Amino acid sequence: MTGKRKVSHLVWRGRSELTCLADVTTSIDPQQIQLPDSILPIDGRFGCGPSKVRPEQIAAIVAGGTSLMGTSHRKQPVKSLVGSVRAGLRDLFSLPDGWEIVLGNGGSTVFWDAATFGLIEQRSQHLVFGEFSSKFAEASGAAPHLGAPSIVESATGSYPDAVAEAGIDLYALTHNETSTGVAMQLRRPHGADPGAIVAVDATSAAGGLRWDPDEVDVYYFAPQKCFASDGGLWIAACSPAATERIERIAASDRWRPASLDLGIALTNSRADQTYNTPAVATLIMLDEQIGWMNEHGGLEWAAARCDESARTIYDWAESRGWASPFVADATKRSSVVATIDLDGAIRADDVCTALRENGILDTDSYRKLGRNQLRVGMFPAIDPADIAALTVCIDAVVEALAD
């Protein structure tokens, strides 16, 4: 929105009050709004993936410049790196005995395809409540060797509950719907068939939200969100029931492409390697981030850090007459991805444009959701103080854009 107002520069006078000084009438363009340096966050990266990378992660890549980068992934230095990632995740998630960390190339999208070959036996049930939770359901439905999946759907901004159903051998949940900012409580469906397993897409949740391994069998994710690494890798924490399922299907006559064969991925992971050549820089950044989390107190510390950021932004939105959390039920609001609706008189695109001009990046809403909305990553690498500064900056931009 472009309008006429009297403005020269903005002076911060408290959390919700901005005063414009001078009497120069100016045509306001979002790209021309300049915020005072004193109110800017120290780091302006708030994207929901790829997310902010800490300087220490880049330093770790530099430190491995000759010992890891450009070396064989079949040799001990890189195998030790993979082993460190696997051990670090077992510690971070406090996994029970018998659980294993399995990894492979391709990200969560590829894992959905791999699961249709090596994790679902006959039929799956999918809880669908946004863009990403629907994609695994689509992959399962397209697999000619599987029965039609059961779909349990709810409107965006909420989530459905799994419903025990005869003949379902895999229940597909999504811990955090990145497109909408909804976080799901993970629970096994009561009364499910014996041997049914629960697989959870945790791409934007793992490392930032708490979870109970007793309620889950496969907790899979890619590392470009809470773990502040690059994409192109999938990682799955697997219970003994899940590894037994993988091995049983791998021993069957079901055809599987080698790159999507979870049995091959499991065998290679146990040897601290991947079937295909991995991006070593991704592993280095991931390992450094896991170590940082564990050194500071593990998953509880990381989740509490995200909780602090979430309280700040949701309290702020609820205190503004022109903003509100998109997720109406506070118990379903994510602590790692916040979605904030704006009043129709304030164009979110203009707000995002002005913020970007001031070095505050990637606050745009998810494009397919189609709402006048801001979406803010609150992953562990993002300082809660920077979330607080972001709210101040949004106030300043909205004031500048006001009629």
* Domains of the chain (ranges, CATH numbers): 4-52+297-401 (3.90.1150.10), 56-295 (3.40.640.10)
* Cα 89 to Cα 48, 170, 257, distances in angstroms: 21, 24, 27
pLDDT recorded at residue 23: 33
pLDDT recorded at residue 93: 98
pLDDT recorded at residue 28: 86
Decide: 68 and 284 in contact? Cβ < 8 Å: yes
Bridge-based pairing of strands 197-201 and 218-221 is: parallel
Per-residue pLDDT of the chain (403 residues; tens, 9 = 90+): 333 333 333 433 333 443 333 333 335 899 999 999 999 999 999 999 999 999 999 999 999 999 999 999 999 999 999 999 999 999 999 999 999 999 999 999 999 999 999 999 999 999 999 999 999 999 999 999 999 999 999 999 999 999 999 999 999 999 999 999 999 999 999 999 999 999 999 999 999 999 999 999 999 999 999 999 999 999 999 999 999 999 999 999 999 999 999 999 999 999 999 999 999 999 999 999 999 999 999 999 999 999 999 999 999 999 999 999 999 999 999 999 999 999 999 999 999 999 999 999 999 999 889 999 999 999 999 999 999 999 999 999 999 998 5
Please name which of 225, 234, 218, 265 lies closest in space to residue 105, comparing C-alpha atoms: 234
- At 268 the three-state DSSP class reads helix
85 token code pair: 């990632």
Please name which of 29, 30, 22 lies closest in space to residue 6, comparing C-alpha atoms: 22
Decide: 232 and 105 in contact? Cβ < 8 Å: yes
Q: Distance between CA atoms of 18 and 10, rounded to whole angstroms?
A: 7
- Phi, psi angle pair for 347, to nearest 5°: -80, 120
Decide: 193 and 166 in contact? Cβ < 8 Å: yes
pLDDT recorded at residue 27: 56
Q: Distance between CA atoms of 377 and 83, rounded to whole angstroms?
A: 29
Decide: 256 and 248 in contact? Cβ < 8 Å: no
Question: How far from the centroid of its chain's Cα atoms is residue 152's Cα?
Answer: 22
Q: 113: Cβ–Cβ under 8 A, 6 or more apart, which residues?
A: 139, 260
Cis status of the peptide bond prior to 278, with omega within 30 of 0: no
SS (H, E, C) 92-146: HCCCCCCCEEEEEECHHHHHHHHHHHHCCCCCEEEEECCHHHHHHHHHHHHCCCC
Decide: 234 and 107 in contact? Cβ < 8 Å: yes
For the stretch 171-229, pLDDT in tens is 999 999 999 999 999 999 999 999 999 999 999 999 999 999 999 999 999 999 999 99
Runs of H (alpha helix) within 297-383 = 298-318, 348-357
Q: 307: Cβ–Cβ under 8 A, 6 or more apart, which residues?
A: 335
Q: Distance between CA atoms of 35 and 266, rounded to whole angstroms?
A: 51
DSSP state of 348: H
